[in-house]
A and B are shown apart, each in its own frame.
Chain A
Amino acid sequence: AQSVTQLGSHVSVSEGALVLLRCNYSSSVPPYLFWYVQYPNQGLQLLLKYTTGATLVKGINGFEAEFKKSETSFHLTKPSAHMSDAAEYFCAVSNTGGFKTIFGAGTRLFVKA
Chain B
Amino acid sequence: GAVVSQHPSWVICKSGTSVKIECRSLDFQATTMFWYRQFPKQSLMLMATSNEGSKATYEQGVEKDKFLINHASLTLSTLTVTSAHPEDSSFYICSAPGTGPSSYNSPLHFGNGTRLTVT
Give the B-binding residues of A (Cβ under 8 A): 32, 34, 36, 41-46, 49, 51, 90, 94, 96, 98-101, 103-106, 108
Number of interface residues of B (CB under 8 A): 26
Cβ contact of B34, chosen from A32, A41, A99, A104, cutoff 8 A:
A99
25 A-B pairs within 8 Å (CB atoms) are namely: A32-B105, A34-B107, A34-B108, A41-B91, A41-B112, A41-B113, A42-B112, A43-B6, A43-B93, A43-B110, A43-B111, A43-B113, A44-B44, A44-B95, A45-B110, A46-B107, A51-B105, A99-B32, A99-B49, A99-B104, A100-B46, A101-B34, A103-B43, A103-B44, A104-B43
Q: How many A-B residue pairs have C-beta atoms within 8 angstroms? Tell me.
A: 61
Shortest Cβ distance from residue B30 to the other chain A in the assembled complex, whole angstroms: 10
Given A43-B95, A44-B93, A105-B43, decide whether A51 and B110 contact each other with a Cβ distance below 8 A: no
Query: Which chain B positions have C-beta within 8 A of A43?
Result: 4, 6, 93, 95, 110-113
B97 lies within 8 A of A99 (CB)? yes
Query: Which chain B positions have C-beta within 8 A of A51?
Result: 102, 105
Encoded as 1 (CB less than 8 Å from any A CB) or 0, chain B from 91 to 119 comes to 10101010000101101111111010000
- Would you call B42 an interface residue if the criterion is a C-beta within 8 Å of the partner chain's C-beta atoms? yes
Residue of B6, B109, B110 most packed against chain A (CB within 10 A): B110
Shortest Cβ distance from residue A15 to the other chain B in the assembled complex, whole angstroms: 23
Shortest Cβ distance from residue B114 to the other chain A in the assembled complex, whole angstroms: 10
